[in-house]
Structure 1
């Protein structure tokens, strides 16, 4: 992905077969990509001599014919390699029941009982991406904008399945996939130590989940550096950290590429999963906001006040100091004078900075237009908006999507594919429920961060 979702390793697998009667099929080609959640760490691709004839319709479909396979290795010659590359892996396939059955039959003929935990991307897609027209691999990935080459060849189909599985893991808000795998690990007696856990963690932005021995999530947080943050948890002497240390069985995580998606996911997934060690607080994260108001003469002015959830704000701040820096930034970047008032924390609402000048030179309309233009770069309410930012890898971008100020969700997309159609956006979208805090997270991020691009559509 490279969003490493768990400490599991996956074997993304696809086979082509001869066709024929049930349980009598032979394998003609196999591709396996060993994926550690971060990158492909090993791969095996090979034609296979099935020692039986290929059905004519299969030859037309795959382009693999009997002549091509005469000098290819027989299954027994590659069996050891398949065992090695899939060892301690969860086998992922599109229609996993078929691929797994055919491979197990081949091993049975050799007198070997091949057993692996499996996950099927057809079943996961039906659950996590409902209402698609088709769940066949080719039609599904094309509708999602996932690149696919060499269709009906093992390598091309396996790579497309890998891309699809990345998307499915991102859409699994309830983390049922991860938790079921952790419970499976418990049965095999795997008990990772803290050093083992931290060795596998990335030093990049994302969200992480700390699990107890039952697989339950006991703590969720985001970080710009997951590995560094987890190390702090494991070395901290605070009472809450000590409790977490005592109950930690493993840590899973998801790379997000940038901090905005990590912040949004943390906000939602804490609410969904309610981990026991995430503090619930009534204190607002963004206690101050900027509101755009008119004075008696019709001039717009910026009013920095305590955040009022009943009113739509133009910017959100974690402190008054942050608000002052925002105003200074606008003035310094433009060189024009801006009417601003700061209302202090007392109920008297005393004006603590300059009032409007009676000798203001510009007309009301001219001034108001200039001010609105200055603030337009932070406007998330007027148009449909994509906040494009860094993805989880070099060839990828992320997109946070808003419609008329309402957050819909986010997705990742290949740089070779433009996010230019509502259907493609909807199919790839990982939904996030919109709430007031998410709006403030986005506004604050646009103020404090750089490197993103706003695309209005």
Structure 2
């Protein structure tokens, strides 16, 4: 049984793409016995060139199901099937990436019709789906849309099956996921690395730092670099001579140190983190009716955001969650374009601020808690996290809303004297990237962290 599919994506950086449309035809070798076709809301921006190519835009996907809503159907229709696609390594990678984001291990055998066509129909001018289909007289409708391309792949696959009467090439071409292997010259590097949280430095033969990263498991992350197939991993594999590291215990400390070290050393393979880590922020204002409003917008140099996000998608997801947790109004938080009441008002999850029914003071008290929980402006506080060993803790110090630095202390010594506290920390620059790192980390780990006001 075969699951012949095609996927359209947002485009963008490797492993950061999102699915915009998917079509799957279940084929038993004779006819299509089941099918699934759907637009998918990728929860991220579509690259302009992709919009021009496919015709799929953000407006079309606004009410489309998100991937987690179609994931079960994809699992069911591909169960016990060999996944077939034209350039299957791309479609299969995208699918596995989406399932990985959900924490689900998606594994299927695969067949690539590009590779099969090269074996069974040699000497063609081009093996792109469009040109190959034209050359073979295969009608293609809706080119660069998932359903049209998947239907063309079904017809192509039928033709290839007929040409391979003994099924020798088909059987030999089925790919099974194999555990990636580490090159023998890199194995000795892995042996000396810890499985601890910290910052690692990859050096070339001259001792220069070519890449800096952080991980909750240094050995595992370096192993991923040494077995990866993406362009950055291949560059690391070609240039690495040694790896040094610094244990931090705390992921927050590792993130802060990583940011500092990358900006200081400017490793050639760390282009992404040389720039600012965030692009959007959470902002608030009081409207004409006195209600406290929130919105996600591009980070402004003039206004200080309450907290910041790496992209609009994560900011909007956060604001949706806060709106639900604190029973706020979608319309006032700019999550609904309704000109009257918001949707939640109709299902009694909003108390009517959007139609001026809820008391302003009561509403604003709940809304203010979002600011109190996520901003450390003018606050004096310690963020206490894991240390490098049993009996040790890390501490991040915020003084008058400014990040002062970080350090480690022994659990046997209580630190309640500000002068003593400041004497044990390593001073660090208070910049917007560090504020973003701290706020993002606290958002994700608030229930586990110990936060002490000083």
TM-score range, shorter chain: 0.5 to 0.7
* Cα distance between partner residues in 1 of 2:262 and 2:339: 38
* Cα distance between partner residues in 2 of 1:235 and 1:270: 23
1:217 maps to 209
How much has 1:266 moved relative to structure 2? 1.0
1:289 maps to 281
8 Å CA contact 1:287–1:307 kept in 2: the answer is: yes
1:454 maps to 451
* Cα distance between partner residues in 2 of 1:424 and 1:353: 57
Residue 196 (str. 1) matches residue 177 (str. 2): no
Query: The residue matched to 1:297 in structure 2 has which SS?
Result: coil
1:421 maps to 417
How much has 1:242 moved relative to structure 2? 2.6
Which stretches in structure 2 are left out of the alignment for 5+ residues? 1-183, 343-352
- Structure 1 residues 281 and 392, CA gap change in structure 2 (3 angstroms): closer
1:402 maps to 398
8 Å CA contact 1:220–1:270 kept in 2: the answer is: yes
How much has 1:351 moved relative to structure 2? 8.3
1:373 maps to 369
How much has 1:331 moved relative to structure 2? 3.9
How much has 1:440 moved relative to structure 2? 1.2
How much has 1:428 moved relative to structure 2? 1.6
How much has 1:207 moved relative to structure 2? 0.8
1:384 maps to 380
8 Å CA contact 1:205–1:225 kept in 2: the answer is: yes
* Cα distance between partner residues in 1 of 2:334 and 2:204: 47
* Bigger relative CO (Cα 8 Å, ≥ 6 apart): 1
How much has 1:226 moved relative to structure 2? 1.1
* Cα distance between partner residues in 2 of 1:341 and 1:333: 13
* Cα distance between partner residues in 2 of 1:280 and 1:203: 25
Match of 2:218 among 214, 226, 232: 226
2:245 maps to 253
Structure 1 vs Structure 2 CA RMSD:
2.8
- Structure 1 residues 342 and 199, CA gap change in structure 2 (3 angstroms): farther
* Cα distance between partner residues in 1 of 2:273 and 2:452: 35
- Structure 1 residues 266 and 369, CA gap change in structure 2 (3 angstroms): same
Measured against aligned partners, the alpha-carbon deviations of 1:102-159 in whole angstroms (never above 9, x if no partner) come to xxxxxxxxxxxxxxxxxxxxxxxxxxxxxxxxxxxxxxxxxxxxxxxxxxxxxxxxxx
Query: The residue matched to 2:271 in structure 1 has which SS?
Result: coil
Residue 274 (str. 1) matches residue 266 (str. 2): yes
1:298 maps to 290
* Cα distance between partner residues in 1 of 2:311 and 2:207: 38
Match of 2:389 among 387, 393, 396: 393
8 Å CA contact 2:340–2:354 kept in 1: the answer is: no
How much has 1:300 moved relative to structure 2? 1.1
Measured against aligned partners, the alpha-carbon deviations of 1:224-270 in whole angstroms (never above 9, x if no partner) come to 22111101111223333233223322111111112211111111110
Instruction: Between 351-360 and 393-402, report the one with greater CA deviation.
Output: 351-360
* TM-score using structure 1 length: 0.52
How much has 1:281 moved relative to structure 2? 6.6
Query: The residue matched to 1:357 in structure 2 has which SS?
Result: helix
- Structure 1 residues 372 and 218, CA gap change in structure 2 (3 angstroms): same
8 Å CA contact 2:320–2:335 kept in 1: the answer is: no
Query: The residue matched to 1:397 in structure 2 has which SS?
Result: strand
Q: Where has structure 1 moved over 6 Å in runs of 4 or more?
A: 350-355
- Structure 1 residues 353 and 312, CA gap change in structure 2 (3 angstroms): farther
How much has 1:361 moved relative to structure 2? 2.2
Query: The residue matched to 2:354 in structure 1 has which SS?
Result: coil
How much has 1:193 moved relative to structure 2? 4.7
- Structure 1 residues 456 and 275, CA gap change in structure 2 (3 angstroms): same
* Cα distance between partner residues in 2 of 1:371 and 1:335: 9
How much has 1:280 moved relative to structure 2? 4.8
Match of 1:439 among 426, 435, 443: 435
* Cα distance between partner residues in 2 of 1:353 and 1:281: 43
How much has 1:414 moved relative to structure 2? 0.8
Measured against aligned partners, the alpha-carbon deviations of 1:415-436 in whole angstroms (never above 9, x if no partner) come to 1112222232222212221211
Match of 1:322 among 300, 314, 321: 314
8 Å CA contact 1:399–1:410 kept in 2: the answer is: yes
8 Å CA contact 1:388–1:397 kept in 2: the answer is: yes
How much has 1:343 moved relative to structure 2? 8.0
1:235 maps to 227
2:98 maps to none
Query: The residue matched to 1:413 in structure 2 has which SS?
Result: strand
8 Å CA contact 1:302–1:339 kept in 2: the answer is: no
8 Å CA contact 2:397–2:404 kept in 1: the answer is: yes
How much has 1:397 moved relative to structure 2? 1.0
Match of 2:354 among 346, 357, 368: 357
- Structure 1 residues 342 and 299, CA gap change in structure 2 (3 angstroms): closer
Which stretches in structure 1 are left out of the alignment for 5+ residues? 1-191, 345-349
How much has 1:389 moved relative to structure 2? 1.0
Measured against aligned partners, the alpha-carbon deviations of 1:279-335 in whole angstroms (never above 9, x if no partner) come to 157875322211111111222111111222332111222344423432343344344
